[in-house]
Amino acid sequence: MKKAAVYARYSSDNQNEESIDAQIRAIREYCQRNNIQIVKIYTDEAYTATTANRPSFLQMIKDSKLGIFDTVIVHKLDRFARNRYDSAFYKRELKLNGVKLISVLENLDDSPESIILESVLEGMAEYYSANLAREVMKGLKEKALQCKHCGGTVPLGYDVIKDKDYVINEKEAEIVRLIFSMYADGYGYGTIIDELNKRGYTTKEGKKFKKSSLHDILVNEKYKGIYTYNKTIKMINGKRNHRKMKSDDEIIRIPRGIPQIILSGIIYCGKCEHRIVGNRRTAGKNKKLYVSYCCSNSKNCDLKSINKDYLETMVIDELEKKMFSSDAIDKLSKRIFEYANSQQAEIQSDIKAFEKELKVVQNQIDNIVNAIANGMFHPSMKEKMDELEKRKNELTFYLNEAKLQAEINSPTIDMIKEYLKKNSNIKEKSLDDQKKIIQTYVQKVILHDNEVEIYFIVDLDGVPRRTRTPNLLIRSQALYPVEL
């Protein structure tokens, strides 16, 4: 029997405590139908999903390492996160701990079409969230709303150019990626600091790394592409206490407002299965810079390194051929459209069931009201009325949620095509956008000494294909499935 943790949340926009009760009730019913045992319930009240500063949510992510549950169940995906990149980050955290995420209302499965449809839905929710955030932040400082640098120390991995925009400092960014990669692989602060010092890496101020500086990097939302401003509390002496944060309604938080440095690692060593990390070195009289990918377990693994640009160009070329050709987009759009329609039928069935039960409950309420009006009162009527009103509120909540889901879960085939086509010019996009596209459609890359395996989210032909290059064999195929 699966053991599940439940996560429920309501934000301050037109929701209240009953929203959490209704979410949990729906999840309990789902678990009863599917023989799932609930072992723990986590709730956050009046927190939006656009922020990671949700105490119970973060505790749930932390507890997922303990093995007390193998599944996290939410009523709806936007209760988990409204930003697909933030969502992918925490899903990956759960996956690394052997925990699967399930949404009751979306009822998405592990099929490739479902995974891409989920990306579409999260994209729509993110658009809604971004618009809502813009309304909430009206009247705040214009400079911050434009995601400009507003003073203070620039985080390691970034520079600020003349117009106060953040840009990635690639040399420093390699340090940041190494820190996150080693941390994700389970290395402690001490081991990470030793590796950084061995490579001669320093902080932005040119100092050696300490546990405090490492911690500040690992919790900095900017590395995920989230612009933040006005987070910390200024003390009496005028200095900011970076351990004390203001309330969410005071903080400016803009997803994708700053170039993103860290992404989920998808490149692995074919020899020892450790993660592949970036490596920079200079050689020759002119101290020419060489950037490559190599095994993070280089002390014990003799995997050959591969030129960074060469590998990334190879993956992008394969993506262009396998996922973004006209034929591929036509096939994939049709499959996603058919899948969305199958989900739509189930949602419509739920809507009819909710409407039918709501009508029965309303008739029972009306009968009790009429009886009391005619002088037929009994104390048990109040208890029954309270029970019926509670069920009415729950059914109204379910019905509204289902109708909203029906609206956003029914994209036309043309809408899906347009969504996919926007990535077809992948070679012309910025480095940051290319990385995001790769994270969406490429599930895993495995490096061998003389071969590269590229696993896509779906293989439209159903047959893995191989393409030879002068030095390497590229094997690209679909992986069914790998959760984000």
- In whole angstroms, what is the distance from residue 318 CA to residue 426 CA? 11
Indicate the fold that domain 2-136 takes in CATH.
Rossmann fold (3.40.50)
Say which range, 3-7, 118-122, 129-133, 463-467, has the weakest mean pLDDT: 463-467
Round to the nearest angstrom and report the end-to-end CA distance of the chain: 23
Q: If you average pLDDT over every residue of the chain, what do you get? A: 77
Higher pLDDT, 287 or 90: 90
pLDDT digits (tens, 9 = 90+) for 203-244: 998 999 998 889 888 888 888 778 887 776 654 444 555 556
pLDDT band at 138 (very low <50, low <70, confident <90, very high): very low
Predicted local confidence at residue 422, as pLDDT: 85
Phi, psi of 477 (to 5 degrees): -160, 175
Q: Is the pLDDT of residue 113 over 80?
A: no
What residues form DSSP beta bridges with 291? Answer: 280
Predicted local confidence at residue 88, as pLDDT: 66
Among candidate residues 156, 170, 167, the one with its CA nearest the CA of residue 206: 156
Predicted local confidence at residue 426, as pLDDT: 87
- In whole angstroms, what is the distance from residue 440 CA to residue 453 CA? 17
Residues recorded for the chain: 484
Say which range, 24-38, 69-83, 116-130, has the weakest mean pLDDT: 116-130
Mean pLDDT of 425-439: 79
- In whole angstroms, what is the distance from residue 73 CA to residue 6 CA? 5
Predicted local confidence at residue 155, as pLDDT: 92
Predicted local confidence at residue 482, as pLDDT: 28
Q: Report yes or no: 167 and 259 within 8 Å, Cβ to Cβ.
A: yes
User: DSSP secondary structure string, 76-103?
Assistant: SHHHH-SSHHHHHHHHHHHHHTT-EEEE
Say which range, 94-98, 117-121, 433-437, has the weakest mean pLDDT: 117-121
- In whole angstroms, what is the distance from residue 360 CA to residue 352 CA? 13
Token output for 325: 């050709």
- In whole angstroms, what is the distance from residue 218 CA to residue 216 CA? 6
- In whole angstroms, what is the distance from residue 27 CA to residue 7 CA? 9
Q: What is the dihedral of CA 75, 77, 79, 80, to 10 degrees?
A: 120
Predicted local confidence at residue 36, as pLDDT: 94
Among candidate residues 236, 426, 410, the one with its CA nearest the CA of residue 339: 410
pLDDT digits (tens, 9 = 90+) for 293-320: 888 777 788 988 888 888 888 888 888 8
Q: Report yes or no: 251 and 133 within 8 Å, Cβ to Cβ.
A: no
- In whole angstroms, what is the distance from residue 267 CA to residue 275 CA? 6
User: DSSP secondary structure string, 6-69?
Assistant: EEEEE-SSS--HHHHHHHHHHHHHHHHHTTEEEEEEEEEES--TT-S--HHHHHHHHHGGGTS-
State what percent of residues in the chain have pLDDT above 90: 13
Token output for 424: 């077809």
Predicted local confidence at residue 408, as pLDDT: 66
Burial class (CB in 10 A: 0-12, 13-18, 19+), 206: exposed
Q: Is the pLDDT of residue 77 over 70?
A: yes
Q: What is the dihedral of CA 141, 146, 149, 151, to 10 degrees?
A: -10
For 414, the 3-state DSSP assignment is: helix
Q: Is the pLDDT of residue 371 over 70?
A: yes
Q: Is the pLDDT of residue 417 over 60?
A: yes
Q: Is the pLDDT of residue 366 over 70?
A: yes
pLDDT band at 37 (very low <50, low <70, confident <90, very high): very high
Q: Give the Cβ contact number of residue 212 at 10 Å.
A: 10
pTM comes to: 0.43
Among candidate residues 448, 446, 441, the one with its CA nearest the CA of residue 478: 441
Instruction: Give, in degrees to the nearest 5, the angle at Cα 399 between 42 and 409.
Output: 85
